[in-house]
Amino acid sequence: MMRALEARLVENVRALRAAEPTGAIFLLVPSRLLGLHLRRRLARALGGVVNLHVLTLPDLADRVAGLALAHAGRRPLPAVADRLVLERAIQAGIPPVRGYFSAVARLPNFPAALGRTLVDLKRARVGPGALAALAGQADEAAGPGAPAASTTGSRRLRRGQSAPTPAGEWRQAPLFLEAHSSLDAPATVASTAKLRELADVYAAAEATLAELSCYDASDLLAEAARVVAAEPARLGAAAILVFGFLELNPVEEGLLEACERAAPLTRYAPEAGAGPRPPAGAVEVIAAPGEEREVREIARVILAHAEAGGRFDEVGILLRQPGAYRAAIRDVFEAGGLPYAWGAGPALAETRAGRTLRLLVEARRSDFAREAVIECLAFADLRPGPGVSPAEWDRLSRRAGIVHGAREWLGRLDRLARGLAPARGATARPPAGPGAAGPTDGGDAAADLGDAALAAARERDWEALAALHRVVRLVTGGLGRLPSEGPVATLARRLATTFRRLVRPSPEAGMVLGALAGLEALADLAPRVTLDSLWALVDDALAAPAEAGPEAVDGRVFVGELGQALGLDFPLLILPGLVEGAFPAAIRQDPILLDDERRRLPGLPLAEAGRSLDRLRFLVAVGSGARRVLLTYPRVDAESGRPRVPSLFLLDLVETLTGRRQDFESLESFPGWRSVPLQPAPPAARARPVDEREWLVSRALDARAAPGVFLAECDRAARGFAVIQAREHSPVLTPFDGLLGDGVPLTDRPMAATWLERYATCPFQYFLGRVLGVRAVEAPERVLTLEARERGSLVHAVLETAYRRLAEAGLLPLTPARLDAARVLLDQALDAGFAEAEGRGVTGLPTLWAGERARLRAEVHSAMVADAESAETWVPILFEAAFGLEWREDSGPALTYPLPDGTTMRLAGLVDRVDRSPDGARARVIDYKTGRVRQGVSPDRLWGGRALQLPVYRLAAGQILATLGTPAEIEAAEYYHVIGRDAGRRVRFTRAGWETRQADFDRVLALAAEGIRAGRFFPWPRTCARRGPCEFDLACGAERLRWAEAKAADPAAQRHAELEGIP
């Protein structure tokens, strides 16, 4: 089809040049790519053509009328300024309330939808007056008894507001639009209201353009038609050739009609059914499982074409929806080394610099939400390069507890830095924060790593934190002070300045800065804009192409939009995406002006006409004369897995080629049809891998018959295979389960009782947390109310402060008579604790915090009253008594406890309170608890080693008192639940219990020490699951219970299971 038209074009140009050798010939084309192709075709056929001007219609219009408009003081509407014009028109033409569009006029996507409708109207040469006249006709059809239009429209809008519409998808019309009937029937009052408002907005938009002395593309075409009609000589053409247009709107037709009156005009228009069809043997059809696999098969066909002696620039890939394939083509072609060129470059938003700007904007829009800021910094090409992994910044920001807000970023990073500073180069306790070792952890969680490794890790954290602080200060400083409304030039300049300081210079970054500079030029159109308007303008600016299409595709595969590339000559033509809903595209009516209304306005495009245009494009493409045509489609949706329906265009073509009626089943019998299996490496991939990934997968599949040979060549794969076999199929525990042959020696650093409890609960937890020093750093969330950990720390601090002051004031022991004075001191401690928590920003929403504060005050007071009214009189003497905590200056020595096998355990911890009896002979240990009772209230229980803290603290208290020269018999150690549902509950480990359970205690410690030394660090899900969520849950694997049951007979597992028999 197109080759025949080209041949006619060549002969006509030859004849024109023979008749008039130097006269100007205008060759009008729908795209510059087609123009370049035709220029080369004419040069090859005629040896060059003098005074031939290849123009698009906008080029011609600018050539004819651009200078005249400039002399009249009018200028082209700046890029993205149409949004500002539409916003002003909406404000002028749509009332805030009770109007037809009032309920949707302020939605983010309404200006874009309205703009598309107004462009259609203007291209159809339908002015505001025609709309108003149509509204008048609707008024007459409605009759004199109809209610007021705005009232009815308002009611419809109120009903429509409840209709769910997908976010960001204006094309899904609100509910009120579906109520419109054809204007050929009795018109509804709602249609009248809509048409009047649309006419008002249209008129306001035109008035705004006139006020600004600007013109748009339709104005330029219309003015060119007027100039040529008035002064034909201004055209300056001896002949006009119009080639390759599949559709023309009325404004474009008007210009061509004016030109036809000024000079001879010949049209070369492709028509459906005209021209040859490719022979059946030249057509191939590929059904692939998803777009990515579709692109892989396309790449395989192209590589085979090149191997057979073909050139890459003989291949054209024409896409109906380029956005659905752009990423897959980029990834597959670049991995496979296929050279390619886009007919139109990607949008600025798809480049790294453009995406960085959008992420920067999103960070500001989200009030610097932690995830948004980290995503921006991780993606951006920062200058200078920070030399730090973004994962480290993510971890540090989590550790700092940052949620959002510029002040929170800087304040909490500063606080984390102050915590890190004293520890640099030292063995001090790590700073507090999520994931840091708590006071009962016995010091650093990664103690077994050694002081040198810890110091190096802290130094790395310090350097990473310093780099993060610099970048965050730049971002928050540049964007945090942007006002909610201001001059567009000022706002755009500040955004550009921050972007320039943040991002390394590059051509892409330069184009982004150029787009922002274009926003500064909008100052006279919109003196002031809101930040939301600025963000919308940025999105519009980034939608522009990052680069012009290629002037030539020599040596590269051409990839372009179907309408842009029709008429180009490709020996191997590829049309992907041939499924219903994509090619042809799904029919979607304009949400502002439905087809029933458009039919009353001549020249407006209809939604149903889009399918006919798609069919014509398809027929022109396959009839272009290509020697080979490859048609592909994704037979399943890659995201949902649902099957997709091949395009009816494809069925019609196959039916034409075969002469037999086709359906979806018979299509598979077409000789050129093949399906790509849904497997990692189908036969075609194994025969001709596109890239390294397919080559590796193919080799792995080929090696299945003899895996040993393959694994011998790949150490990592062999190790991974061994891990899988050992964990999933071996009946005994192996090193890959956590049974380490060498084990881990007990270090000299004292160990907290909680770590021994953790080993008894799950050796794998102990290994990850204590031996490797791993911590799960969770993403902080917005604090709505005081978190459990913060609540516990607050209550502990308040009780410590209050009881110390009571001791200093001589108000201990507590008695009912001293209670009033004690309450005053307790309130002072509570107020100080509350103020400190508020200063750290951990208290949450003010309303919820007020209730939490009142509840804590009441519950802590109740605990003190219970102490005062206790039947037994105890005198608190020690508060926060530390033992074995080397990072605390006030710590006593570690608890040294010998076991019967000769092992000496050195234990550490922090005792909340030690009370002495009035006679001084007895004492008790109090450990405050602020959560629920975990393992029951039965006294003197060890719970298989999961409850060791009380007996350890009992022993430690005896040692501390003896060291102070005031020895006493420790009567009991007890958990005292001071707040919450279990407030007042006590769980005790008594002296009598110790006398009967010491042997069991020794056995628990011996089994734990033996297991640690022997390297028994396998998961133990039977008891771990009882403690609730585990921070290392993902590391264990989903099949941990099955694996544990399968290996329960292993001697090491049996040995650890002995702990469960100790009550």
What does the pLDDT read at residue 1044?
Answer: 84
Looking at 195-351, which runs of residues are DSSP E strands? 214-215, 239-243, 265-268, 283-288, 315-319, 340-342
Span 441-463, mean pLDDT?
A: 63
| 1039 phi and psi angles, rounded to 5 deg | -100, 20
Average predicted confidence (pLDDT) for the chain: 85
What does the pLDDT read at residue 969?
Answer: 95
CA distance 211 to 81: 14
Half-sphere exposure of 719 (CA within 13 A, CB side): 5
Pick from 561-570, 914-923, 972-981: least confident: 561-570
In which band, very low, low, confident or very high, does the pLDDT at 149 lie, cut at 50, 70 and 90?
A: very low
Of 268, 289, 307, the residue at which a domain comes to its end is: 268
Task: Check whether residue 101 and residue 187 sit in a common domain.
Answer: yes
Task: Check whether residue 261 and residue 292 sit in a common domain.
Answer: no
Containing structural domain, residue 66: 2-74+220-268
What does the pLDDT read at residue 164?
Answer: 32
Does residue 717 belong to any structural domain of this protein? no
Q: With 50 as the cut, is the pLDDT of residue 347 above it?
A: yes
Q: With 80 as the cut, is the pLDDT of residue 47 above it?
A: yes
Q: With 70 as the cut, is the pLDDT of residue 50 above it?
A: yes
Percent of the chain with pLDDT over 70: 89
Task: Measure the CA dihedral 511/515/520/524, to 10°.
Answer: 140
Q: What is the pTM of this model?
A: 0.74
Q: With 50 as the cut, is the pLDDT of residue 104 above it?
A: yes
Structural domain count, the chain: 6
Of 212, 229, 259, the residue at which a domain comes to its end is: 212
Task: Check whether residue 788 and residue 813 sit in a common domain.
Answer: yes
Query: pLDDT tens digit string along 1012-1054?
Result: 999 999 898 877 766 666 778 777 777 778 888 888 899 999 9
What does the pLDDT read at residue 135?
Answer: 83
Q: Which structure tokens are listed for 183?
A: 């204007």
What does the pLDDT read at residue 1022?
Answer: 79
Task: Check whether residue 967 and residue 880 sit in a common domain.
Answer: yes
Task: Check whether residue 771 and residue 812 sit in a common domain.
Answer: no
Q: How far is CA 874 from CA 812, 815, 867, 894, 959, in A?
A: 9, 10, 9, 26, 19
Task: Check whether residue 1016 and residue 921 sit in a common domain.
Answer: yes
Q: With 80 as the cut, is the pLDDT of residue 546 above it?
A: no
Query: pLDDT tens digit string along 925-952?
Result: 999 999 888 766 689 999 999 999 999 9
Task: Check whether residue 975 and residue 1021 sit in a common domain.
Answer: yes
What does the pLDDT read at residue 471?
Answer: 93
Does residue 720 belong to any structural domain of this protein? no
Bridge-based pairing of strands 875-883 and 904-916 is antiparallel
Closest CA to 772 of 1032, 445, 423, 457: 445
More confident residue, 884 or 700: 884
Per DSSP, 1060 falls in state G
Closest CA to 67 of 256, 234, 261: 234
Does residue 661 belong to any structural domain of this protein? yes
What are 908's strand-pairing partners?
752
Does residue 727 belong to any structural domain of this protein? no
Task: Check whether residue 1046 and residue 995 sit in a common domain.
Answer: yes
Does residue 817 belong to any structural domain of this protein? yes
Does residue 698 belong to any structural domain of this protein? no
Query: pLDDT tens digit string along 269-307?
Result: 887 545 567 787 889 999 999 999 999 999 999 999 999
Span 1006-1015, mean pLDDT?
A: 92
Q: Which residue has the tokens 């093949």?
A: 674
Query: pLDDT tens digit string along 21-31?
Result: 889 999 999 98
Per DSSP, 591 falls in state S
What does the pLDDT read at residue 140?
Answer: 64
Highest-confidence segment of 732-741, 769-778, 839-848, 969-978: 969-978
Per the omega criterion (within 30 degrees of 0), is the bond before 584 cis? yes
Task: Check whether residue 884 and residue 773 sit in a common domain.
Answer: yes
Dmax (CA) of the chain: 130
Of 664, 684, 704, the residue at which a domain comes to its end is: 684
Task: Check whether residue 767 and residue 910 sit in a common domain.
Answer: yes
Pick from 238-242, 403-407, 583-587, 712-716: least confident: 712-716
CA distance 898 to 45: 102
Percent of the chain with pLDDT over 90: 50
Looking up residue 747, the CATH number of its domain turns out to be: 3.90.320
Looking up residue 668, the CATH number of its domain turns out to be: 3.40.50.300
Task: Check whether residue 67 and residue 108 sit in a common domain.
Answer: no
Pick from 252-256, 321-325, 431-435, 592-596: least confident: 431-435
What does the pLDDT read at residue 353?
Answer: 93
Does residue 274 belong to any structural domain of this protein? no
Does residue 731 belong to any structural domain of this protein? no
In which band, very low, low, confident or very high, does the pLDDT at 682 lie, cut at 50, 70 and 90?
A: confident
Task: Check whether residue 398 and residue 467 sit in a common domain.
Answer: yes
